[in-house]
Amino acid sequence: MPVDTHAIRILSQRLSIEPFCEQDAVESFSCISLSLTRYMSWEPPASLEEYAQVWGQWLPAIADGSDIVFTVRELVNARFAGLVGLNDTGSETPELGIWIREDKHGLAFGGEAVRAVVQWASQWVVVKYFIYPVATQNGASRRIAEALGGVVIERRASEKYDSVVYRIPVV
Task: Give yes or no for a contact between 132 and 96, defined as CB atoms under 8 angstroms apart.
Answer: yes
Percent of the chain with pLDDT over 70: 98
- Quick one: 10-126 is in which CATH superfamily? Gcn5-related N-acetyltransferase (GNAT) (3.40.630.30)
User: Domain limits of the chain?
Assistant: 10-126
26-49 pLDDT per residue, tens: 999 999 999 999 999 889 999 999
Say which residues have a Cβ less than 8 Å from residue 60's Cβ, sequence separation at least 6.
none
3-26 pLDDT per residue, tens: 667 789 999 999 999 999 999 999
pLDDT value at position 2? 55
